[in-house]
Amino acid sequence: MKDYCTLHIRSDIKSELPRNFLKRKLEIIFTDDESPERIASFDRLATKGVFKRKDLPQYHWVFSSEGAVDGFDVYKHISWVLDQINPEFSLTRLRNLGFEFLLQFYWESNGTGGGPLITSELAELLVQHNVNLQFGFYSSMGENF
């Protein structure tokens, strides 16, 4: 199984993250939904009946614990992601600068039941950082499922 946590950061008014937001250099994926490439992609998708969500901000950054944390311990993945943020910054400070953010956890299973455990320790961590957590559940059984 391959589980990981992703931090999504979005903004309509800022096209760059604050300098030194992260403790160290990480692979961050940046998307500008108004770039010519993205507009062309949205146009192609629209011909197939898939449309761009209008409620999402233009700029989007994402990085994850994939490859950095092993196992399915939700707390370890989330704390690793949050530990990448420079202590000078808080997510609340980032929000006050015009950004929004969300943690998303990718949970892969074989479909036999079970799921993530939300411990009080994890709940405290989420409250401390004032961040929401969304789970996505995916089957590891592939096309034969």
Residues 6+ apart with CB under 8 A from 118: 74
* pTM, entire model: 0.85
Tell which residue, 127, 62, 144, has the closest CA to residue 90: 127
Rounded-to-integer distance, Cα 49 and Cα 64, Å: 30
Q: Pairing mode, if any, of strands 59-64 and 100-109?
A: unpaired
Rounded-to-integer distance, Cα 139 and Cα 137, Å: 7
For the chain, what is the domain count?
1
Q: Which segments within the chain are labelled E, that is strand?
A: 4-11, 29-32, 59-64, 100-109, 133-139
Given a contact cutoff of 8 angstroms between Cβ atoms, the answer to whether 90 and 83 are in contact is no
pLDDT at 143 over 60: no
Residue-averaged pLDDT of the chain = 89
Mean pLDDT of 103-123: 87
pLDDT at 128 over 70: yes
Give the burial class of 46: count Cβ atoms within 10 A of its Cβ; 0-12 exposed, 13-18 middle, 19 or more buried.
exposed
pLDDT band at 89 (very low <50, low <70, confident <90, very high): confident
Rounded-to-integer distance, Cα 73 and Cα 3, Å: 9
State CA 58 to chain mean position distance. Answer: 16
Give the burial class of 112: count Cβ atoms within 10 A of its Cβ; 0-12 exposed, 13-18 middle, 19 or more buried.
exposed
What's residue 80's pLDDT?
Answer: 97
Range of the domain at 45: 4-144
